[in-house]
Structure 1
Amino acid sequence: IYRDRDSIIAKEENTLYFRFQNANFFKNNEYFGEVIPGYTLPGFDFTPLLIYHPTKNTKLEAGYQLKLLFGKDNDMDRASFLRFHWQIREWFAVILGTLYSHNSHNLPEPIMNPEFSFSTIRDEGLQFLINRKNWKADLWVSWDDFIWFGDAANEKVWGGLSGKLKFDIGTSRLEIPVYVTADHTGGQIDATDNPSTTELNVGSGLRFKKSLSGFVKQIEI
């Protein structure tokens, strides 16, 4: 869930249309154990959008995001939605504004909790998407808290890289995922004495797949 469509269809050039995105959720974590606190996330998220394709390789999306947890009617999260998507090459795109975020980053659960889709608004910043034959990558930076001169708060920026290398050898494929995220708190123009900090998360692994022609069609490790 919460994977935005990140492609551009050339035949939609010079078209304008309306899209309504909605997700209703109920996540119950009351397991009566020590693995996770027993809380529940009931609510909804909806985003009405106007989408315009000025050219065959660009897309503009404008709208509004609303997210509500039931029982907190006076605490609705809301934010404007404005995204510019430029498909520079078939395999390379630049996104400015509202990013393809949450589960669209394809980060593993130990690095990013999928429940963020229920509790947070989409990221905003700059993003690069790469999709080549042998490698795929999502590189982004999101400004969570913007500051100006003399603000009594720190700037907060979150970014990362989610990628995958692919090697095909006959009927076999080896994949090497790479994940890096950085959560930075700092800034040079604030009025605080707080130190700058950066928290890093790094992950990788191996995935092997082989296609077979017998009763077992594929093995995967």
Structure 2
Amino acid sequence: MKKLLCIITLFYQFNASAQESVFFSNENNKTFEVDKFGVSVYNANFIKNDEYFNNIADGLTLLGTHLHPEFIYNSNNKTQFKAGIFLIKNFGENNIDFAIPTFSFNYIKNNSQLTIGNLFTKNNHNLIEPLMASEKILSNDVIETGIEYKYDSNKINFDAWLNWENYIRKYSEVREVFTMGMTSKLSVLKHLSIPIQYVYYHRGGQINKKYRSENNLDNTMNFHNLAMGLEYATHPNLNKGFTFGYNYLYHITNTEIEYPFKTGRAHYVTLTYKINHLQFLLAYYNADKFTTAKGNEMFQSYSLKSNINYWNGELDNRYVGLEEPNRSLLFTKVFYQNEIANNIKLGLQIEGYYQLNNSGTINYLLSNKKNQFDYSYGVFLILNDVFKL
């Protein structure tokens, strides 16, 4: 049992050191401490306000609560079955927005962990912000369905998963959708490691209805994102230290209908300083036609504005077709988190984006957005506890 708890602690330490958002939290590592039967309870209450006025991403406010109670059955100290329900309520509405049944099987042996069923990805698989938006964990997308394998040792941290997002039957009107990914970190020296991250997004299917046309969106779509680089960390412990990271980003896709560029690349440089409950992140991002399938919209090279405004009674379509192939940003983030009571954590976060490039000149309505500053702020309170039965 002591060996098992050491393995779980390794998982926790890796996830904590790679954290990029105050909203991230780890799997509850106490679930295997239950002898036979138990209940775990996860509750997150949050607000995140995005004050964005650029030409790429919409400003919005996320405000709500998540509740995820699960029944735990540990047949032994290696195998675990969990069943529960994941509830989402957006504040300001009288109804529950999502009620998702969850089931998962976990198997742990030595440094490996295998999960089949629902994956509760409260840390985005440790993906960097340009590849996976941290706001995902504030939506129902935090619950994934598929399979995940993790391996953690002193030298290698590895996470590979499949998230099946849309199941289809014969003659379905929609396509199957899934995402596959991998994150790994190889320690080569005492403070130096090599991170590699990959995300593959697919829409297709052989048994669904297909409608052929010149601008057909029903053909198979494949999108690949890759990030690789170096990370130098001076953490003497988990409470204080610097981390410098560099990632080279690349994408390739088989369609220019939904995404404007078939290939693209970017550079992402980060400097993080952590002291006790505070963490400071300063980043530089420079893109050459780079786009992502799941990343933060602020890092896209084309506009994702929702175009719901009207000018003199006509729909405002000035953002349609807007591209910023050479998008360049300074990005900063400050967050504070602290355990204010047993298994209850409070967090605060402020982020800012300073745009270094000019926006596209698709029409005269668009102003020059160079030197544009956008920001967001957020607060959360999380309960994450396990009760023995």
Normalising by the smaller structure, the TM-score range is: 0.7 to 0.9
Q: Which amino acid aligns with 2:219?
A: P
CA contact (8 A) 2:80 2:106 kept: yes
Deviation at 1:175, TM superposition (A): 0.8
Q: 1:207 aligns with which of 231, 240, 249?
A: 231
Deviation at 1:25, TM superposition (A): 0.4
Report Cα offsets for 1:152-194 as digits up to 9, x if no partner: 11000111001111123xxx32111111001100011111242
Relative to 1, partners in 2 of residues 1:149 and 1:110: Cα closer, same or farther, differing over 3 Å? same
CA contact (8 A) 2:124 2:132 kept: no
Rounded to whole Å, the distance in 2 between the matches of 1:27 and 1:130 is 33
Does residue 84 in structure 1 map to residue 102 in structure 2? no
Rounded to whole Å, the distance in 1 between the matches of 2:96 and 2:242 is 48
User: Which moves more between the two structures, 57-66 or 34-43?
Assistant: 34-43
Rounded to whole Å, the distance in 2 between the matches of 1:33 and 1:186 is 33
> Kindly, what percent of the aligned residue pairs are identical?
26
Deviation at 1:220, TM superposition (A): 4.5
Where does residue 5 of structure 1 map in the other structure? 27
Q: Which amino acid aligns with 1:3?
A: S
How much is the aligned-residue C-alpha RMSD, in angstroms?
A: 2.4
Rounded to whole Å, the distance in 2 between the matches of 1:186 and 1:8 is 39
Deviation at 1:102, TM superposition (A): 4.3
Q: Which amino acid aligns with 1:92?
A: S
Report Cα offsets for 1:32-63 as digits up to 9, x if no partner: 55574221111010111111111110111111
Higher relative contact order (CA 8 A, sep 6+): 2
Q: Which amino acid aligns with 1:202?
A: L
Gaps of 5+ in 2: 1-22, 212-217, 245-389
Report Cα offsets for 1:56-79 as digits up to 9, x if no partner: 101111110011222344460221
Name the TM-score, length of structure 1 as normaliser.
0.86
Rounded to whole Å, the distance in 2 between the matches of 1:103 and 1:218 is 21
Relative to 1, partners in 2 of residues 1:94 and 1:218: Cα closer, same or farther, differing over 3 Å? closer
Relative to 1, partners in 2 of residues 1:113 and 1:179: Cα closer, same or farther, differing over 3 Å? same
Q: 2:40 aligns with which of 12, 19, 23?
A: 19
Deviation at 1:204, TM superposition (A): 1.5
Deviation at 1:127, TM superposition (A): 0.7
Name the TM-score, length of structure 2 as normaliser.
0.50
Deviation at 1:209, TM superposition (A): 3.5
Question: What is the aligned length?
Answer: 212
Gaps of 5+ in 1: none
Does residue 60 in structure 1 map to residue 81 in structure 2? yes
